[in-house]
Amino acid sequence: MTDYTAVLFDLDGTITDSAPGITATLAYTFERMGIPVPSPAGLLEYVGPPILDSFRDLAGMNEEQSARALEIYREKYLDDGAYDSTVYPGMPALLRDLAGDSRKVSLATSKPELPATLILEHFGLATYFDVITGASADEVRSAKTDVVAEALVRLRGLGADLSRPVMIGDRHHDVEGAADHGVPTIFVDWGYGSPAEAAGAVAVVSTPEQLREALHLRNGTPHLS
């Protein structure tokens, strides 16, 4: 097992079960756009990837339609959808203990930084992160490879040891985006990704306790050997 020196976390499907707020906001968006609302399973496919990519790839929207859908989605999501989520049991304690470790921690989500920060603050988790990195407001930085790159830049600016960083996520976007920068991924299977999306991950974990073991983190006690 590897003693990872810095940890990057995805948000949706990894720390929070945010699907209810996201899918409800998407349904509202499609209704406002006059587009048939996908099935519940279809809406779940939107959770995780950059939203403009999903509007294009899953809904078949052109650039103008995607921009309008994003405007509708963001207004509704910031009003109430962002808080229609729950934190996965065991994750607050894991983040708290990791914050007491010598390793630096960054969020690395394709959700824009404003709602990501508001969600972490809402659940009292923001203080556990050295850096909160997400998509830029204009969505220019939204692909996971670009988010990971920015997170690494910010961590490096804090003097973090980046000799052995690791990504924690639940979708293939996390695995592939981190791999673009030579960062391995621990795949959590309690999120929204299918088992096939774990391909290329260095480990698959089913509980926060298993994630603790993969990170060499004991309850309340850092464990770097």
| Rounded Cα distance, 95 and 134, in Å | 18
| Rounded Cα distance, 116 and 211, in Å | 22
Q: How many domains does the chain have?
A: 2
Q: What are 100-110's pLDDT values in tens digits?
A: 988 999 999 99
Asked whether residue 170 falls in the same domain as residue 119, the answer is yes
Strands 86-87 and 16-17: antiparallel
| Contact of 90 with 125, CB cutoff 8 Å | no
Asked whether residue 11 falls in the same domain as residue 44, the answer is no
Asked whether residue 208 falls in the same domain as residue 101, the answer is yes
Within the chain, what is the greatest distance between any pair of CA atoms? 57
17 is known as an active-site residue: no
CA distances from 55 to 97, 109, 122, 144 (A): 38, 18, 28, 16
Chain-centroid distance of CA 34 in Å reads 29
State yes or no: pLDDT of 89 exceeds 70.
Answer: yes
Residue 54: what pLDDT? 93
Residues in the chain: 225
- Exactly one of 3, 10, 57, 80 is catalytic; which is it? 10
Range of the domain at 140: 6-17+87-222
State yes or no: pLDDT of 42 exceeds 80.
Answer: yes
CATH number of the domain at 179, please.
3.40.50.1000
Residue where one domain finishes, among candidates 83, 98, 132: 83
* Phi, psi of 144, rounded to the nearest 5 degrees: -60, -35
Asked whether residue 71 falls in the same domain as residue 97, the answer is no
Residue where one domain finishes, among candidates 52, 83, 114: 83
| Rounded Cα distance, 28 and 107, in Å | 28
3-state SS of the chain: helix, strand, coil percent to 5?
A: 45, 15, 35
Q: What are 124-179's pLDDT values in tens digits?
A: 999 999 999 999 988 888 899 999 999 999 999 999 999 999 999 999 999 999 99
**pLDDT: is 67 or 140 the higher one?**
67
| CA geometry: angle 132, 17, 41, nearest 5 deg | 125
Residue 1 lies in a domain: no
Residue where one domain finishes, among candidates 83, 101, 119: 83
Q: Which residue has the tokens 């339609």?
A: 65
Among 44-53, 152-161, 182-191, 193-202, name the one with the lowest average pLDDT. Answer: 44-53
Q: Tell me the whole-structure pTM to 2 decimals.
A: 0.88
State yes or no: pLDDT of 223 exceeds 60.
Answer: no
Residue 45 lies in a domain: yes
Q: What percent of the chain has pLDDT over 90?
A: 87
Q: How many CB atoms lie within 10 A of CB 158?
A: 11
Residue 222: what pLDDT? 44
Q: What is the mean pLDDT of residues 177-185?
A: 98
The DSSP result for 151-174, as a single string, is: HHHHHHHTT---SSEEEEESSHHH
Asked whether residue 79 falls in the same domain as residue 111, the answer is no
Asked whether residue 192 falls in the same domain as residue 151, the answer is yes
| Rounded Cα distance, 16 and 13, in Å | 6
Residue 225: pLDDT band with limits 50, 70, 90: very low
Residue 32 lies in a domain: yes
Residue 220: what pLDDT? 62
